[in-house]
Amino acid sequence: MHSVLPNILAGSLRSEFKTVQLMTNIYCKAHHKIAQHAVSSPDTLKPNGKLCEQCVDFLEYALLRLDRCPYGENKPTCRQCPIHCYKPEYKAMSQTIMRYAGPRMLFTHPILAIKHLLAERRPVPMKPTAGASNRHKRKQRINNK
Ligand SMILES: [Zn+2]
């Protein structure tokens, strides 16, 4: 499978986004009538093939949240996180997608699924340290050039 990931995320955030992409892909394929309102998603947002507009929008939102997560690479899983940065409608969509695709991913992508399950068991970091977000580090890298 070819997945073109946006290169703005680093390390564990990158693999977390990959997991979200896969789950959204599984969910969209099963639930949304792609044929009716198919859009070619931007290259960065297609794990394989086409997602509907709604799911592309969701992925763009998820990417933005990951980039700005104040925990950065120390990010706990979203379910454990005390911050709850998602807007209610996206949060609901995320839960629906995870609930459907999570168990299915265990068979298609066991390594990513198990990584996520293990992450759920890690203790939640107390407080994000200043400047830990991917976005902050990304800007710093640019400034240092
Ligand atoms: Zn969809």
Per-residue model confidence as pLDDT tens digits over 15-32:
889 889 889 988 998 888
Residue 140 CA, ligand 1 centroid: distance in Å: 35
Whole-angstrom distance, CA of residue 142 vs CA of residue 37: 38
Q: What is the pLDDT of residues 24-63, one digit of tens each?
A: 988 998 888 664 444 444 444 444 457 888 898 999 999 9
Residue 33 CA, ligand 1 centroid: distance in Å: 8
Q: What angle do CA 55, 46, 132 make, to 5 degrees?
A: 80
Listed in sequence order, the residues at least 6 apart from 43 whose beta carbon sits closer than 8 Å to its beta carbon are: 4
Q: What's this model's pTM, rounded to 2 decimal places?
A: 0.78
Residue 51 CA, ligand 1 centroid: distance in Å: 5
Tell me what the mean pLDDT of segment 129-137 comes to: 90
Listed in sequence order, the residues at least 6 apart from 1 whose beta carbon sits closer than 8 Å to its beta carbon are: 47, 48
Backbone angles phi, psi at 15, to 5 degrees: -75, -30
Residue 84 CA, ligand 1 centroid: distance in Å: 23
